[in-house]
Amino acid sequence: MKHIINDKKIAIEAMLHSYQFEHQGRLSIDLKDHIIYYKKDSGVSLISGGGSGHEPAHFGYVGKGMLTASVNGALFTPPYPDRIMRAVELTDNGDGVLFIVKNFASDVEMFTEAKKRAEASGHKVEMVIVCDDVSVENKDTYSKRKRGVAGTVLAHKILGYFSQIGKSLTELKVIADEFIPHLYTLGVALSSAELPNTDRFFSLGENEVYYGIGIHGEKGYRKESFESSEQLAIELYNKLKKLHQFKQGEHYAFLINGLGATPLLEQYVFTHDIQRLAVLDKINIDFIKTGTQLSSYNMQGISLTCLKLTDPLFEIALQADVDASHW
Amino acid sequence: MTTSIITQKMIGQALKDLMEKKSFQKISVSDIMRQCDMRRQTFYYHFQDKYELLVWIYQSDTKEQIADFLDYERWDTILYQLFIYFNDHQLFYKNALSVTEQNDFNNYLFRELHVLFKQMVRDLTPMKSSEQSDYMARFYSYGFVGIIKDWIESGCKHSPEMMRDVVYQMFDHQLGLSKKESEYDR
């Protein structure tokens, strides 16, 4: 496969450098530590990050009303604690720092270590772990995978809003604990991602799709022949419907996320199917967003995130204007 | 015009809504299409008549409730979900089951359950030959279809939770026995 890069080793730096150049009026960069950030005079600083290759996550969400900083690791590899620590030093104005971390063992390990170090240096730090992936982890027990995937972007948005309106670090942690248990995501691949100089993570027949794949090529729970967008929408929607136990009149937010190589046209066709399915169940979609928000590099596929809106304030948080390039 | 599964589901939902209040015999295609606010012609793009629609609902619902969950949830969760599903749609199914000339409900439910129980028997008693497993799966499927039908016709007198517990205990007892047998054989 062909990739538009020069030297693989400096691709991340080149990307961050040019992204910040594009947004130089409002964003800063620490090129040595791969951090995109802006300075906030007051309010809790929100830091997220992880491996690169999931663009526009997470630097595309740095800006007023969302993240304060994004710490970017190598391709599919989380950043080291000293880099996260550097992001804390760059952005903590004394009101504390909230880490928003996708639930992968190495990400959690790096951010936990950074939290320890930051606290030892006198910073107030809390950590929120997003675990919205409800694909199957274990084929014997059918336990769910619980990794952090596209729903993380909704967590950025909701927590970003509450930070913006002046909620304290402790309050933000309570808010996160309230909505994260109601946040579910499930995806489908039409093809595997393919990183530069790396083999495909899994193989699919010409007309096959793979339900339940993860964002780093984690395996799914079922392969089947592709028929239509409706077929994919029904499969993913029905799983989330069952987990949420949809009841008529309830309120939900949906995120339809392209996984890297899915045309926007197709994402909207799929969105239309989801909208119609929600009409059938007589549930209210108070918020819906379509676009490539958290990708799996160049995977062709789509994920569906569904958040039960247990508090009307969450809808307000999702609808509020932000100054982030990719929301 | 290409068939749309979601349009079919919408038409099906309209029939389900109507059948909560009216008998199947008294509902016309025009009633159904008025209910879902679609042109009458759209019905005929997707179905020949209301009987075909009713069969389609059985087929689609049992597939979506059972087959689509086979790789996603364990058999016990799927059975519990099935009780919840029929409980939520009991008015429709009670009415539908009284359409005497039809036996399709049994057939489709049996077909999907048979696959589920085959998987269950294989998981829980791997010592059985495929022939034995198949007989056991058929035995459970016939029994389960009957239990579901009686339960719906009784107006879902007992809660889905109670039904689940009864069925689980039965399997536990049965499969416990077969486990003892295979230990004894050895």
Tell me the mean pLDDT in the region B144-170. Answer: 93
Q: How far apart are CA B182 and CA B127, in angstroms?
A: 7
Residue B54 amino acid letter: L
Residue A180 makes CB contacts below 8 A (sequence gap 6+) with: A128, A129, A130, A131, A132, A155
Q: Which CATH code for domain A182-319? A: 3.30.1180.20
The pairing of beta strand A300-308 with beta strand A183-191: antiparallel
Q: What pLDDT, on a 0 to 100 scale, did the predictor assign at position B168?
A: 87
pLDDT in tens, A124-143: 999 999 999 999 998 888 99
Element (H, E) at A252: strand A251-258
Look at residue A243 and tell me whether its pLDDT is greater than 90: yes
| For chain A, domain boundaries | 10-181, 182-319
Look at residue A149 and tell me whether its pLDDT is greater than 80: yes
Cα distance from B92 to chain A (closest Cα, Å)? 15
Contact A253, A315 (CB under 8 A): yes
| For chain B, domain boundaries | 1-47, 49-185
Residue A235 near chain B (CB below 8 Å): yes
pLDDT in tens, A245-261: 999 999 999 999 999 99
Q: Which CATH code for domain B1-47? A: 1.10.10
Would you call A244 a catalytic residue per the annotation? no
Among A33, A12, A32, A16, smallest CA distance to A24 is for A16
Cα distance from B153 to chain A (closest Cα, Å)? 24
Look at residue B182 and tell me whether its pLDDT is greater than 60: no
Residue A80 near chain B (CB below 8 Å): no
Q: Which residues of A touch B72 (CB under 8 A)?
A: 136, 142, 212, 221-222, 239
Predicted ipTM of the assembly: 0.92
Q: With bands split at pLDDT 50, 70 and 90, how would you rate the model's confidence at A182?
A: very high
Tell me the mean pLDDT in the region A137-151. Answer: 93
Q: In what order do the strands lie in the sheet with A300-308?
A: A222-225, A208-211, A183-191, A300-308, A251-258, A284-291
Class in CATH terms, A10-181: alpha beta
**What percentage of chain A has pLDDT greater than the value 90?**
97
Would you call A182 a catalytic residue per the annotation? no
Q: Tell the residue number behind the tokens 């190589």, with chain if given.
A: A261
Yes or no, beta carbons of B73 and A142 under 8 Å apart: yes
Look at residue B181 and tell me whether its pLDDT is greater than 70: no
pLDDT in tens, B46-86: 999 999 999 999 999 999 999 999 999 999 999 999 999 99
Compute the mean pLDDT over every residue in chain A, rounded to the nearest whole number. Answer: 97
Q: Which of these is catalytic: A54, A123, A182, A326? A: A54
Look at residue B179 and tell me whether its pLDDT is greater than 90: no
Q: What pLDDT, on a 0 to 100 scale, did the predictor assign at position A107?
A: 98
- Tell me the HSE value of B7 on the side-chain side, using a 13 A CA sphere: 16
Class in CATH terms, B49-185: mainly alpha
Element (H, E) at B58: helix B50-65
Q: Which residues of B touch A273 (CB under 8 A)?
A: 6
A vs B: CB pairs below 8 A: 38
Compute the mean pLDDT over every residue in chain B, rounded to the nearest whole number. Answer: 90
**What percentage of chain B has pLDDT greater than the value 70?**
92
Tell me the mean pLDDT in the region B9-34. Answer: 96
Distance (Å) of CA A155 to CA A134, B4, B76: 16, 34, 33
Look at residue B18 and tell me whether its pLDDT is greater than 50: yes
Q: What pLDDT, on a 0 to 100 scale, did the predictor assign at position B130?
A: 85
Tokens of A112: 């936990």
Beta bridge partners of A260: A299
Q: What pLDDT, on a 0 to 100 scale, did the predictor assign at position B186?
A: 45
What's this model's pTM, rounded to 2 decimal places? Answer: 0.95
Tokens of B131: 């022939």
DSSP state letters, A38-85: ---SSS-EEEEEEEESSTTTTGGGBSTTSBSEEEEEEET-PPPHHHHH
Among A113, A106, A95, smallest CA distance to A148 is for A106
Among B45, B25, B58, B76, smallest CA distance to B152 is for B58
